[in-house]
Structure 1
């Protein structure tokens, strides 16, 4: 039983609270990411906006007091990361992903956000002491539940640290079988992570939404354990068939799952499942036997270790502006910026890439007015150039005939629509230069280049 007598209830600054990088909701690659990146991930994946709407309408429920723990000199949110994220965004909508920012601005307009400058939180003696609460709340339907792999990673982390299986089961009120299944699954994932297979295949097998329950149903089967001699001993896997053959069996099962040929609905009958497993082993097993083991060393965060891949041949990098294309727009400065885009790989310098695309679009629009003899329409009364949004809005409203077809013009109308919540929007691109924004992803940059390219096509000269 948890002793709460030394848990302090204190008011702390919401803005200063740190979100937990080890939150089981987050994928492994988020462990080293910034607070901004964590906020964006939670907003995109876990319905933070719905929580913000509830807080704006009903206030912050007193029965949902967050729990924090002091790590170094900072207080880290261990329970309540989504609620704290919602409060942070209501207090400062600029922290939201660009395409969601205006939703939080609208919510914050009608409430006094200063009431949440400080919030009552429980301060736990350590993050470890909060763990049983996390399992009790998120491992069931009491609150927004973790995905299966999230809970497995949490339980397996204890196994990999060398904690006794029975102790883990008792501490978190789960069955020993669940602890064992979690540890075996995570160890198999580590085995796959180190396999010499294409990255795209590996990513599919390690994806957060991969059907791990289907895989565990197979390796938990009595016939599988007999043929493979599979056991969990402490924090390591042991088996009696050669390691390369065992890996081939696991990779084959993963491929069937990804291809949809092995699902929760196939081989429900015990005898059918046993026959299926026997066929797989006949295909990959040589009949040799011995004593083999696989162990993933514990990591600092207690989860799956970071991926270490063998060096692979260098691939041709995808460029921000495709280097298979050359441009002569009739404007020297614009041509030079496009040439700079040829030298930048997508994602290497995301902030600079976003600003470069914004500059290219700005000059492209200006050049379009120029070649159509309407440069005066881009100027204010004092002779200064109007803002990019105004110039594009005027362009699609008054010069649809400049576009080669109606569909291209319609796309640009959506690109500047005031009521649009799409990420691919002129205001998002403007935020790369003028606003407080999150780091653009490769997909974001590709999407924006697709819009910029259509304007450039209207300028090209022989």
Structure 2
């Protein structure tokens, strides 16, 4: 082992000056991470990660920063900046506590409140261990995130990516990687092979069949690579698909066109296993690849072992083209709508069955707000009284969420010279309209506050306190949501799912 005396030496470094590590295996590869908001959204992508991140932030705010585990940094020779090799989540939280406005919108209120609970000067600097180089820090990174560690280790996908990074960094030197990771050669070769197979999604023959949304999700860090790993651990599957291994190399001995066709279909089914294929008999999960392997194989396209085409001659191309033209001549088919076009039709349909289309989602730490939003995607508009009242409550909670995130409770209380809790919704919206909104959203807020407007706050209040049923038709409620959508989008940061 090399000399690791630097692990015994701690040096104070400015939190604001430390740089986060953009190649961290916890992050989604191929995505840009240039702002604290980018890092935060990636570190909280999964629900378990989000809860852990928030719990850690609350603990630091309550008890102060207690350096139980070392923060490892190295100095880049290119720009002489110090980058965090180990402790990125902790440093990120310290940065957000010192500057809550740089958090994603849904977390700004949380970090503003937490920042009030801690002496910010006490977290202006942290003690770090400075590794002589990034290479010198590799050993510690591996020990800290090894499955045998008592600390919070990387997940399977993150360990896979880390091994792959080492494979590239050390030019495929398996012996070197074995020394660093303590993995056996068989384990290392298996990890590298499955990552090579996963990267088939980048081949044009596969990517063009997936489309942008599915391709993005297939390349995301939370793609369940263990499903591929378990499938291809079966000799039966490898033989059927024509996949052969030679050390870390993967050879496709079947017809490549048919294999890539199968692989594209496989990726679609894995990515959409919890949506499109949720109830399918050949649904692909880490469990069903063992219990329902025959169903899964039967549901995928066949792979043949015909010799790959070397390329058609010009004469063959003419023949093929003429055949295709003859086959389709005289047949007029309506073009298939894209996902965006389908969603646009639903958004603009005044007779849709649900107030909020199910392809919308919000990311908030407010459990009640998140729950109400999701319930309005499930309750049919035949329950119009319920929907109307819930829309009024959703607006109230959304406005409060925006106020908390922007940290303007005190400003509103001062403006109306009363406790913030005593400021009515109408005045809260009025303050936001005057001080925060521009262009379209400002006009919408003005109409909402106009009691003579068809889509007014008075009408929303009537859903809770009034007797009039004139504004309780399905089309009116849907149009009311459409009218308010730009405001809700601002207050809740609504996004469309990638399904």
Into which bin does the TM-score normalised by the smaller protein fall? Answer: 0.5 to 0.7
Closer, same or farther in 2 for the Cα pair 1:207/1:20, shift >3 Å? closer
Distance 2:224 2:45 in 1: 22
Tell me what 2:103 maps to.
96
Which of 128, 143, 159 is matched with 2:151 structurally?
143
Aligned to 1:15: 16
- What secondary structure is seen at the aligned counterpart in 2 of 1:51? helix
Which of the numbers 91, 103, 113 marks the counterpart of 1:106?
113
Q: Deviations over 1:125-157 (max 9, x none)?
A: 222332333333234263333332221111112
Q: TM-score, normalised by structure 1?
A: 0.62
Whether 2:85 is the aligned partner of 1:5: answer: no
**Do structure 1's residue 63 and structure 2's residue 68 form an aligned pair?**
yes
Q: Which has the higher contact order (CA 8 A, sep 6+)?
A: 1
How far off its partner does 1:199 sit?
Answer: 2.6
Match of 1:158 in 2: 166
Q: What TM-score, normalized by structure 2, do the two folds share?
A: 0.58
Preserved CA contact (<8 Å) 2:254 2:304: yes
Cα shift at 1:118: 0.9
Q: State the 1:177 CA deviation.
A: 2.6
Structure 1 counterpart of 2:285: 263
* 1:333-371 deviation line (CA, Å, top 9, x unaligned): xxxxxxxxxxxxxxxxxxxxxx99742121233355568
- For 2:227, the equivalent position in structure 1 comes to 214
State the Cα distance separating 1:109 from its structure 2 match.
1.5
Matched, 1:170 2:179: yes
Give CA-to-partner distance per residue, 1:421-442, whole Å, 9 cap, x none.
x9852xx7xxxxxxxxxxxx7x
Match of 2:414 in 1: none
**TM-aligned CA deviation for residue 115 of structure 1:** 0.7
1:247 aligns with 2:272: no
How many residues are matched?
346
Could you tell which deviates more after superposition, 355-364 or 180-189? 355-364
SS in 2 for 1:18: coil
2: CA distance between counterparts of 1:283 and 1:177?
A: 30
* 1:186 aligned onto 2:203: no
Aligned mates of 1:18, 1:214 — CA distance in 2: 34
Shift of 1:233: 4.5
Task: Report SS of the residue matched to 1:25.
Answer: coil
The counterpart of 1:76, out of the listed 79, 83, 95, is: 83
* Pair 1:230-2:244 in alignment: yes
Which ranges in structure 1 are unaligned for 5 or more consecutive residues?
291-314, 326-354, 374-391, 417-421, 429-440, 448-462
SS of the aligned residue for 2:57 comes to helix
Q: Aligned equivalents of 1:44 and 1:218: distance in 2? A: 26
Give the alignment of 1:381-460 within 5 angstroms.
Answer: 396=457, 400=461, 405=471, 425=491, 443-444=494-495
The Cα RMSD (Å) is 4.4
Say which is worse superposed, 244-253 or 80-89, in terms of deviation. Answer: 244-253
Q: Secondary structure at the match of 2:140?
A: helix
Contact preservation (8 Å) 2:21, 2:85: yes
The match for 1:52 is 57
Q: Contact 1:225–1:231 (CA<8 Å) still a contact in 2?
A: no
Q: 2:290 aligned with 1:283, yes or no? A: no
Q: Identify if the C-alpha distance between structure 1 residues 276 and 184 changes in structure 2 by more than 3 Å, giving closer, same or farther.
A: farther
Distance change in 2, residues 1:73/1:178 (3 Å): same
Task: Please give the per-residue CA displacement for 1:231-290, whole angstroms capped at 9, x wherever unaligned.
Answer: 2455x4323223323323433443443436233333537xx96x7798799921135499
* 1:18 CA displacement: 1.0
Deviates more, 1:127-136 or 1:62-71: 127-136
Alignment partners' CA distance in 2, 1:73 and 1:110: 34
* Structure 2 equivalent of residue 361 of structure 1: 441
**In 1, Cα distance between equivalents of 2:198 and 2:57:** 35
Give 1:4 deviation, angstroms: 1.3
Aligned to 2:132: 125
Q: Tell me whether 177-186 or 130-139 shows the greater mean CA deviation.
A: 130-139
Q: Matched residues in 2 for 1:88 and 1:232: separation?
A: 47
Q: Structure 1 residues 238 and 400 mapped into 2: Cα distance closer, same or farther (>3 Å)?
A: same
